[in-house]
């Protein structure tokens, strides 16, 4: 009886695929990549993104943050990432825009954050427009120009870092295709070609 129990336990431990005949082992979940691009200065607000990423990392360990850009705050941000013990990679400044676009294309989601300041109230986010133009899921907050893209992004309340971290995870793991609507909107209404066409039509009709 003991011998049969051992054999049964062994069969349970090593499950065999009846078709291939190969033993099935648990597969490691693929790492999801979140990307930030921009100057690493006072207006990048990477502190909020690093804090939110830390919270997200406590819920899902298989995530990585990639930062493309340089600036006088780069060293401080690197130290903060190390202190938070998060999986973050700083690639520095990349002059070749095709390489930058390739990094964005290969990422799973992108991120931008605007704290509530007077400057950010009137600031336009070219980064968010670029992310959406490429059809990428983008996590952001609901302040200033960013609110314009509420229907197309994974947006949280400004100042709520925990909610922001939840939206980061949603963009990484459960995107619902709203970013594709954002891609259509940006390409149709905010590309230089569409803007020039609208200006020419206004001049013709003046």
Q: What is the 3-state secondary structure (H, E, C) of the chain?
A: CHHHHHHHHHHHHCCECCCCCCECCCCCCCCEEEEEECCCCCCCCHHHHHHHHHHHHHHCCCEEEEEECCCCCHHHHHHHHHHHCCCEEEEECCCCHHHHHHHHHHCCEEECCCCCCHHHHCCCCHHHHHHHHCCCCEEEECCHHHHHHHHHCEEECCCCHHHHHHHHHHHHHCCCCHHHHHHHHHHHHCCHHHHHHHHHHHHHHC
pLDDT tops 90 at residue 185: yes
pLDDT at 196 over 80: no
Cα(183)–Cα(137) distance, rounded to whole angstroms? 10
Share of the chain above pLDDT 90, in %: 76
pLDDT score recorded for residue 200: 63
pLDDT of 205 reads 77
Residue 91 binned pLDDT confidence (cut-offs 50, 70, 90): very high
pTM: 0.81
Return the pLDDT at 2: 44
pLDDT at 18 over 50: no
């Amino acid at each position: 009886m003991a011998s049969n129990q051992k054999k049964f336990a062994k069969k349970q431990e090593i499950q065999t695929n009846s078709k291939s005949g190969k033993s099935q082992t648990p597969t490691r979940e693929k790492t999801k990549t979140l990307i930030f691009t921009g100057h690493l200065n006072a207006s990048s607000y990477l502190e909020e993104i690093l804090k939110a990423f830390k919270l997200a990392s406590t819920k899902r360990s298989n995530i990585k943050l990639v930062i493309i850009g340089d600036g006088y705050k780069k060293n401080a941000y690197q130290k903060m990432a190390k202190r938070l013990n998060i999986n973050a990679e700083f690639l520095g400044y990349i002059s070749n825009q095709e390489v930058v676009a390739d990094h964005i294309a290969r990422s799973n989601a992108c991120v931008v954050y605007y704290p509530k300041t007077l400057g950010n109230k009137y600031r336009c986010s070219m980064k968010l427009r670029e992310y959406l133009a490429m059809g990428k899921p983008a996590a952001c907050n609901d302040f200033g120009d960013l609110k314009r893209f509420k229907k197309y992004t994974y947006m949280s309340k400004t100042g709520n870092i925990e909610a922001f971290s939840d939206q980061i995870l949603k963009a990484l793991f459960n995107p619902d295709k709203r970013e594709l609507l954002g891609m259509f909107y940006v390409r149709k209404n905010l590309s230089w070609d569409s803007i020039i066409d609208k200006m020419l039509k206004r001049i013709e009709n003046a």
